[in-house]
Amino acid sequence: MHLATLFPALLLGVIGGLLAALFTRLNTLVCKHRALFLAKIQNNLLKRLARMLETILIVVRTRTQQLRRQ
C-alpha cells in the first residue's frame, strides 16, 4: 500500500461519515416532526388519509424525478 493512496481514502471515509451523520440527523428530525403532526390529528379517518396522501406524494415525486432523468 502506498502512502499516496492512504490520504484520499481517509478523506473519503471522513466525508462519507459526516454525510451519513448529517443524513441520520435530518431523518430523525423529519420523523419527529411527522409524528408530532400526525399526533395532532384526532380523527382516525383523516389520520389514515394523511398517511396515504404522504405515501402517494412520495411515489409521485420519485417517479417524476426518474422520468426527468431519462
Rg (CA), the chain: 20
- Phi first, then psi: give them for residue 44, nearest 5 degrees: -65, -35
Q: How confident is the model at residue 66 (pLDDT cuts 50, 70, 90)?
A: confident
In the predicted structure, residue 70 carries a pLDDT above the cut 80: no
Determine the pLDDT at residue 18: 98
- The residue that leads in pLDDT, 69 or 38, is 38
CB 46 within 8 A of CB 37: no
The tens digit of pLDDT for each residue in 9-65 reads 999 999 999 999 999 999 999 999 999 999 999 999 999 999 999 999 999 999 998
Domain ranges in the chain? 3-69
Residue 1 pLDDT: 66
